[in-house]
A and B are shown apart, each in its own frame.
Chain A
Amino acid sequence: MSGDLPPTVRLANDIAAQFVHRRDSDAAVQEIAGHVRSFWEPRMITELLAAVDGGAPALDPLALRAARLLR
């Protein structure tokens, strides 16, 4: 259940789901990363990146690619 995920992973997945229709996945990844930069407080980004470093098995592939742009 999504309630068991860290809040930042859950939210990153929710954001990624909004962009799955994009045929240009590179653009989608850029938009996801841009959204996170604009609206997330730095410690949230840190937490997401920690999840990525930990393998982030539950992180959506688009969100994972976007997270890598946040470093």
Chain B
Amino acid sequence: MSLLKETDHGTPRRPGAASVSVEIDGTAVQVPEGTSVMRAASEAGVPVPKLCATDSLEAYGSCRLCLVEIDGKRGTPASCTTPVEEGMQVRTQTPRLAKLREGIMELYISDHPLDCLTCSANGDCELQDMAGTVGLRQVRYDEHGENHLNAPKDTSNPYFDFDGSKCIACARCVRACDEVQGTLALTLDGRGFDTKITAGVGQSFLESDCVSCGACVQACPTATLQERSVVELGMPNRTVLTTCAYCGVGCSFKAEMRGDEVVRMVPAKDGGANEGHSCVKGRFAFGYATHPDRVLAPLVRERITDEWREVSWTEALDFTARRMREIQAAHGLGAVGAITSSRCTNEEVYVVQKMVRAAFGNNNVDTCARVCHSPTGYGLKQTFGTSAGTQDFRSVAEADVILLIGANPTDGHPVFASRMKRRLRESAQLIVLDPRRIDLVRSPHIEAAHHLPLGPGTNVAMVNAFAHVAVTEGLVDAGFVAERCEGYDEWAEFIARPEHSPEVAAEVTGVPADDIRAAARLYATAGNAAIYYGLGVTEHSQGSTMVMGMANLAMATGNIGRDGVGVNPLRGQNNVQGSCDMGSFPHELPGYRHVSDDAVRSVFETVWGTSLSPQPGLRIPNMFDAALEGSFRALFVQGEDIAQSDPNTAHVHAALAAMELVVVQDLFRNETSKFAHVLLPGTSFLEKDGTFTNAERRINRVRPVMAPRTGMHEWQIVGEIAKRMGSPMGYTHPREIMAEIAATTPTFAGVSFELLDEVGSVQWPCTDAAPAGTPIMHRDGFVRGKGRFVPTTYVPTAERTTRRFPLVLTTGRILSQYNVGAQTRRTGNVAWHPEDLLEIHPHDAEVRGITDGDEVSLASRVGTTSLRARLSDRMPAGVVYTTFHHPVTGANVVTTEHSDWATNCPEYKVTAVQVALRTAPPGPADAPSGRARTAPPVPAAGS
């Protein structure tokens, strides 16, 4: 499509029915109560000139350009700050208003560079537009008067510039940072003519608290805040609507293009997940798609010690299919398998699991969700009946209390965090369960009512104590439980036992009992209480138990089935939900239906034309164990760097090295490709055509802005391998894959590319009964009928601190980087996070002689790595923290084999370690087990 310019109504839409009738320049319009005259005029098709107003922000009333005349009212009120009244008669165009506006514009332009023809915003500047709208023809004040034309420029941010000479002090950037992003990093400094925009306390943008979300750039009506890509490339001339490929929020974006080149990514105002907002990754960090490190042609080698050979697609596909069949002939059907990617589209994932089931003839398919949210799938299915979060993101605006567990949304899910912060600034109260003092515990205008810094691995003891308080203090919603749930009596007897009391939990978690009781009472009596959680819940040996514990708590207190409540996983990757929905688990066909179900299997057998195995397949950790044992010999890896991301690196490397065939489909050579025999180049999200499903079950279209740089779509590659193995798929377009998904999977029955193109997005279940989708689940009944209470025994992890390994390591993410960093390390985001750091409490550092910035060794019983230390009291003494974005650090060298009992999700969040000041170069001698990381890092970005 041509360049899409969304209508800006000037002030936000107000909720409610259009009940107030007004007349604008003789045109009648009805709007909800509280709507501004400016918005009413815009909706009537009579836009009022404006500069400081934009409909993502509350009215400010500073520019005075939007003056109007209203019958019965004195003067010329600002239309942006004047609410409509029944029967109001408004005039927006009169000689008096024209003269006033011309005078205002003349003053603005008198202090603005007259360089429109060479300005980067030429053609996209509201100041320029307004000068034209009001008919400004001359400026009587010359450049010799006092002005800001030599104001300094700030070019510190890698993605945008701030040019003070072009600023009109409308404060849209400041208000965007406050109201939309919620960081409050920008300030209007000074008064009157001296007013200027300041980042932080007189710092550069890069040094300040600015999180580079781009809200200020988007709000700026001039070229004061401008994307550097626009400065360098010029204005875009067409738009492609698509979906971000980073985290599970799944923001909708306008890819603004010049030809095949992306000039900028602008968040889409009507995007259901993000509603016009973005973060630094989605907004700016898309350059990896055209990075010179991209692998664009297939590579093959017989042995992993050989050099890669660049080959044709035909040779690579023939080689892959032939070797798969040879290995199966020698070692059995079950000797091969595949891992699907949560970064790929639903259609790309669906064809991989289909290849495994139909062509490989087994169920050895798993997905990277194994190592993040598989306990969510298990726990929510056991209790509610389906493996998905209960709410849409908008729901948080109705929450009275937010219980945030093991998640750090401002870093991991920043656009949702902005929604959450808005609600917290309004009135909601926050409870944080996290060993680490995350930013939300205390940040501008936000302070958690309770931060319970529980010890890593003690979640279940804590949630049981919350439930104990609800049950023993009479805070259970008895009506909800009686009508909607089953198994309550047995569970209530279990949870009321003394061993689940806050007093006992205090000994386990390290949190005082009174604090636990107060937080539990707040949650249970909130009105609307919503649970949001992340990998700090799931990546434990009791991840599934904890998910069920949270579900129990929500059911007992009646916090399910309406706006403002629920149990909500914050998914790590863009399509974790979708990859799970698509049958990526080795025990489930698409739609979470067990492979042993004859009726379900027969649906797929009919469509695929082959019989399917009724036995569960191997999960990722089981594949590694079987590879070392010798019964698993070949693996197809779609878009995951398991050699870096999975725990106990030495174990993973040994398993990969033991296989006869490893096929990697990825954008770049990565740690896993060092063990690969075939490297099939993948496509970036800018080349993909399909759908992603975000954490709120929202199915969004991903549209290509360019043809595949590799010459083949990923669904075509998989289809060709399957065809060579005797199972042709026959698709000519991904819409046909979605049609097959809809035909075979009840919750997707109503989904089609045509529907998504028409309505934008839809949240599953999308069926005949719910043709517009289902934003809130379990409204009138649970998917499984009755919600099921499941007793949740607290079992301490087997990973214990010892004298040799006295500290507990827990891991997480940082805002600017994404998972193993394959994408973000190849962008300007390295400006914020060039390396992983080990956060260590000052007390733990002091006793080890460690100072800030020192190189330290980090050792567990399975391996040793090294990185630099950052002293921080965010963690309690005894707990250290790091990220895993850089292969040179290799945080997973030290993580262990412990995993969730139900799903095998690794216990990334609890590893007993020792930290020591590094005095000698790293080497095998550092590793207590004699094992140390052996894999060299992938080349640095841009090298």
A11-B798 in contact (CB<8A)? no
Contact A18 B901 (CB under 8 A): yes
Q: How far is the CB of B497 from chain A (nearest CB, A)?
A: 9
Asked if B625 lies at the interface with its beta carbon under 8 angstroms from chain A, I say yes
Does the CB pair A41–B902 fall under 8 Å? Answer: no
Question: Contact mask A11-25 → B, CB, 8 Å, 1/0?
Answer: 100110111111000
Collect the chain A residues with CB atoms within 8 Å of residue B364's CB.
41
Q: Are B622's CB and A44's CB within 8 A?
A: yes
Residue in chain B with minimal CB distance to A44: B622
Are A41 and B798 also in contact (CB < 8 A) when A15-B902, A17-B793, A21-B494 are?
no
Q: Is the CB of A15 within 8 A of B901?
A: yes
Restricting to A1-57, which residues have a CB under 8 Å from any CB of B?
A: 1-3, 7, 10-11, 14-15, 17-22, 35, 38-44, 47
From 428 to 471 in chain B, residues with beta carbon under 8 angstroms from any chain A beta carbon are: none
Pairwise interchain contact B898-A39, C-beta atoms closer than 8 A: no
B616, B631, B795: the one contacting A40 at CB < 8 Å is B616
Is the C-beta of B501 less than 8 angstroms from some C-beta in chain A?
no
Contact assessment for A17 and B861 in the assembled complex, using a CB-CB cutoff below 8 Å: no
Query: Binary interface profile of B, 623-655, with partner A (CB < 8 Å = 1, else 0)?
Result: 001100101000000000000000000000000
Q: B901 contacts A39, CB within 8 Å?
A: no
For B631, the chain A residues whose CB sits under 8 A away are: 43
Contact flags (1/0) for B785-803 with A, using CB distance below 8 Å? 0000001010100100000
Residue of A nearest to B596 (CB): A38
Contacts of B568 in A (CB 8 A): none
Find chain B residues with CB under 8 A from A15 CB: 901-902
Does B746 touch A at the CB level, under 8 Å? Answer: no
Cα distance, A42 to B595, chains bound together (Å): 13
CB distance from A41 to the nearest CB of B (A): 5
> In the complex, which residues of chain A have a beta carbon less than 8 angstroms from the beta carbon of B594?
38
Q: A3-B861, A41-B364 are in contact. Are A14 and B901 (CB under 8 A)?
A: yes
Please pick, from A21, A35, A41, the residue contacting B793 in the complex, using a CB distance under 8 A: A21
B883-906 contacts to A (CB < 8 Å): 896-899, 901-904
- Is A39 within 8 A of B621, CB to CB? no
Bound form: Cα–Cα A40–B618 in Å: 7
- What chain A residues lie within 8 Å of B621 (beta carbons)? 7
Q: CB-nearest residue of chain A relative to B541? A: A14
Residue of B nearest to A19 (CB): B793
Asked whether, in the complex, the Cβ of B615 is within 8 Å of the Cβ of A2, the reply is no
Q: How many positions in chain B have a CB within 8 Å of any CB in the partner chain?
A: 36
Q: Are A11 and B901 in contact (CB under 8 A)?
A: yes
**B904–A18 touching, CB < 8 Å:** no
Q: How far is the CB of B508 from chain A (nearest CB, A)?
A: 15
- B586 contacts A41, C-beta separation under 8 Å: yes
Q: A60 to chain B: closest CB distance in Å?
A: 11
Contact A18 B896 (CB under 8 A): no
Question: Which B residues touch A43, using CB under 8 A?
Answer: 334, 618, 626, 631
Pairwise interchain contact A38-B545, C-beta atoms closer than 8 A: no
Residue B587 is within 8 A (CB to CB) of chain A in the complex: yes
Q: Complex formed: what's the CA distance from A49 to B494 in Å?
A: 32
Whole-angstrom CA separation of A3 from B615 in the bound complex: 27
In the complex with contacts A3-B861, A7-B625, A18-B545, A38-B616 CB distance below 8 A: yes
Q: Which residues of B contact A20 (CB under 8 A)?
A: 793
| Alpha-carbon distance between A10 and B364 when the two chains are bound, in angstroms | 21
Q: Flag if A41 contacts B545 (CB, 8 Å).
A: no
Report the minimal beta-carbon distance from A47 to chain B, rounded to whole angstroms: 8
- Beyond A15-B901, A17-B901, whether A39 also contacts B616 by CB under 8 A is yes
A35 to B594, CA, bound (A): 12
Task: Check B626–A2 contact: CB distance below 8 A.
Answer: no
Whether A21 touches B617, Cβ cut-off 8 Å, given contacts A2-B798, A7-B625, A39-B902, is no
B594-627 contacts to A, CB under 8 A, are 594, 596, 615-619, 621-622, 625-626
Contacts of B494 in A (CB 8 A): 21
CA distance A17 to B795 in the complex (A): 7
Contact between B587 and A38, CB atoms less than 8 A apart: yes
The B519-569 residues at the A interface (CB cut-off 8 A) are: 541-542, 545
Q: Are B622 and A41 in contact (CB under 8 A)?
A: yes
Shortest Cβ distance from B631 into A: residue: A43
Residues of the B chain whose Cβ atoms lie less than 8 Å from the Cβ of A44: 618, 622
CA distance A6 to B300 in the complex (A): 35
**CA A20 to CA B545, docked complex, whole Å:** 14
Chain B residues with Cβ under 8 A from A40's Cβ?
616
Could you tell me the distance in whole angstroms from the C-beta of A26 to the nearest C-beta in chain B? 15
The smallest C-beta distance from A8 to any residue of chain B, in angstroms, reads 8
A43 to B898, CA, bound (A): 20
Residues of A contacting B896 with CB < 8 Å? 3
User: Which residues of B, 488-504, contact A by the 8 Å Cβ criterion?
Assistant: 494
- What 0/1 pattern do residues 756 to 794 of B give for CB contact below 8 A with A? 000000000000000000000000000000000001010
CB distance from A4 to the nearest CB of B (A): 10
Shortest beta-carbon distance from B31 to chain A in Å: 55
Q: How far is the CA of A23 from the CA of B791 in the complex (A)?
A: 12
In the bound assembly, the distance between CA atoms of A1 and B896 in angstroms comes to 12
Bound complex: CA of A2 vs CA of B594, how far in Å? 30
A44–B586 Cα distance when bound, in Å, is 13
CA A10 to CA B621, docked complex, whole Å: 13
A9→B380 CA distance, assembly (Å)? 26
Instruction: Tell me which residues across on chain B come within 8 A of A42, comparing CB atoms.
Output: 615
The answer to whether B618 touches A18 (Cβ under 8 A) is no
Among A21, A41, A47, the residue within 8 A (CB) of B615 is A41
How far is B622's CA from A47's CA once the two chains are assembled, in angstroms? 12
Instruction: Kindly list the 5 A-B residue pairs having the minimum CB-CB distance in the complex, ordered from nearest.
Output: A14-B901, A17-B795, A2-B798, A21-B793, A41-B618
A17-B793, A41-B586 provided; 18 other pairs, C-beta below 8 A? Answer: A2-B898, A7-B621, A7-B622, A7-B897, A14-B541, A14-B899, A17-B901, A18-B793, A18-B795, A18-B902, A21-B494, A38-B587, A38-B596, A39-B619, A39-B902, A40-B616, A43-B334, A43-B631
